[in-house]
Amino acid sequence: MSFDERRFRDALGQFPTGVAIITALTPAGDKLGMTVSSFNSLSLDPPLILFSIYCKALSFAAWQKVDHYAVNILSEDQQDLSNRFARAKGEKWDGIESVSGKTGVPILPDAVVTFECEAFGRHDGGDHEIFVGKVIALHENKRQRGQSLVFFGGQYRQLRAHGAHNVPKDSNLQGWSSDWEGLG
């Protein structure tokens, strides 16, 4: 390998992502929650998403056992929540309001959008495991649309208004371009 881990991490940090908190209920009824930036879309039909969890995370074994979970996409005013759910164990849920999704998973009501999923598959991802979820319900918070929190270069960032440009209309881009002008 011609690079060390620090350089690899820095290079990866050049790819901006959003920030999500994955939430679930253990079979014993305890709430799980973890901040992730590894969320991504996977398939439209069937509707699949993915994220990855570090195998040495304290809650890793608990995540492997849940049948359902939710992916809550954070807004730019939820940085404190992101930090709280990135702390190892701790009292992540103390004083945090949640509502129950269709399947009983705890959902963060102020998230931009929440993907409620049933566990679809888990795959080897080196020191992480890739979790694939089948989306069974969407919980949209129209008030927060366009205000998603961004993570880039190891820092939280905000989307800039007037920084949006349309993707050209082209048949090869089916579905990737959008007429949405939410950011102006």
The DSSP bridge partners found for residue 150 are 18, 157
Q: Is the peptide bond before 109 cis (omega within 30 degrees of 0)?
A: no
Among 142, 139, 146, 26, smallest CA distance to 75 is for: 146
Q: Which is nearer to ligand FMN, 23 or 144 (CB)?
A: 23
Q: Cα-flanking dihedrals φ and ψ of residue 48, to 5°?
A: -120, 145
Q: How far is CA 22 from CA 74, 115, 168, in A?
A: 10, 9, 33
Q: Which is nearer to ligand FMN, 32 or 107 (CB)?
A: 32
Q: Can you give 80-97 as a three-state secondary structure string?
A: HHHHHCCCCCCCCCCCCC
Q: Does 144 bind ligand FMN (CB under 6 A)?
A: no
Beta carbon of residue 123, minimum distance to ligand FMN (angstroms, whole number):
14
Beta carbon of residue 12, minimum distance to ligand FMN (angstroms, whole number):
11
Q: Does 53 bind ligand FMN (CB under 6 A)?
A: yes
44: region left, alpha or beta (phi > 0 left; psi from -120 to 50 alpha): alpha
Beta carbon of residue 91, minimum distance to ligand FMN (angstroms, whole number):
11
Which one of 11, 12, 58, 161 is in contact with ligand FMN (CB under 6 A)?
Answer: 58
CB under 6 A: which stretch of 84-92, 94-102, 106-114, 160-168 binds ligand FMN? 84-92
Using CB under 6 A, which residues numbered 87 to 106 contact ligand FMN? 87-89
Neighbours of 22 (CB within 10 A): 26
Q: Does 37 bind ligand FMN (CB under 6 A)?
A: yes
- Count the site residues for ligand FMN by CB under 6 A: 19
Q: Does 148 bind ligand FMN (CB under 6 A)?
A: no
Total length of the chain: 184
Q: Can you give 109-156 as a three-state secondary structure string?
A: CCCCEEEEEEEEEEEEECCEEEEEEEEEEEEECHHHCCCEEEEECCEE
CB under 6 A: which stretch of 4-12, 29-37, 102-110, 165-173 binds ligand FMN? 29-37
Q: Does 151 bind ligand FMN (CB under 6 A)?
A: yes
Query: Which residues contact ligand FMN (rule: CB under 6 A)?
Result: 19, 34-38, 51-54, 57-59, 82, 86-89, 151
